[in-house]
Structure 1
């Protein structure tokens, strides 16, 4: 009886350890310093400054546009577990259904209005109409979209992510532009 109890406790401990270790791998790694300095970079204020979004303000938007600011574009984000994207929608513009496998998304509308929605794992659709100043969260890994239903006004939103590399899987591209046979998709 003692042996069975010991075995049960041992199995539970092993399961708990593997559960914790797999959870730790599902997010950005913790770093052992305040920040990671990219090779060849000087450590000054410029390291922590990104000006790649300056040009997007004041420009006329003809089609949906995303300006990403993740660790690929701003290397000092490596290890910080944050990134963002500026989404610009012309009138009638859409960010088609997609997912972010490594992070939740917090969308903040700064201009215009957006129709947004996501589908949970029970296939329930949650939708909302957002105005300037509204925020909406898209849970990690769930299919979601944004749409500017106002054909007379552009819209802009800023999305924050809980990862330096949230990843994006665009469903239309993934399903219809990768050579998957139509019979499989039917």
Structure 2
């Protein structure tokens, strides 16, 4: 009985340590100063990098981020933001966020979205303006503007100051993984792998 309790306690402690290691740092002050002796005013808590995004449409899919890398004031605050702009017919390719779920709000247009869970179930939805959709933490997902005429604009919120993004195409085909390994893993041949790699390096 005592050994069982010790085992349960150890498992609970291990789980807590793993969760702490994966979460944003728990700061013990209101915020983190850029340098210890810095004088901080409201400008430090203001991010202007999204100005000019609304009402404009880029030629290709684009993401503008406000993570701790771009906006240091959010370090330790467990929050970040992204604005996603989709010209007609563009996709945000398959990717994951290893450190956070993503809550996507569609400001205008329509988007086809989806994610795959750990049992290989695909969940898809066609979002309309004003809809929200949640992509669970760490799961492969995408967004696609299938509308041939109209752009779409979406805002994503994350529960981490640095959610991270792992692009599936880039991870597979632009990181020098051996072509034979890729061919065997994808049940194809090296020539097909090379074509996929070439497609990713071509300018749109």
Deviations 1:48-87 (A, max 9, x none): 1111100322333100000010000000100100001000
1:30-179 aligned within 5 A: 30-39=26-35, 41-179=38-176
The Cα shift of 1:183 comes to 2.4
Distance 1:124 1:182 in 2: 28
Q: Which runs of 5+ in 1 are unaligned?
A: none
The Cα shift of 1:35 comes to 1.1
Structure 1-normalised TM-score?
0.93
- Residue aligned with 1:81, SS: coil
The Cα shift of 1:11 comes to 2.4
Q: Where does residue 14 of structure 1 map in the other structure?
A: 10
Distance 1:55 1:18 in 2: 47
Structure 2-normalised TM-score?
0.86
The alignment of Structure 1 onto Structure 2 pairs a total of residues equal to 182
The Cα RMSD (Å) is: 1.2
- Residue aligned with 1:159, SS: strand
Q: Where does residue 21 of structure 2 map in the other structure?
A: 25
Q: Which runs of 5+ in 2 are unaligned?
A: 184-204
- Residue aligned with 2:160, SS: coil
Q: Which has the higher contact order (CA 8 A, sep 6+)?
A: 1
Choose 5-14 or 104-113, whichever is displaced more: 5-14
Q: Where does residue 187 of structure 2 map in the other structure?
A: none
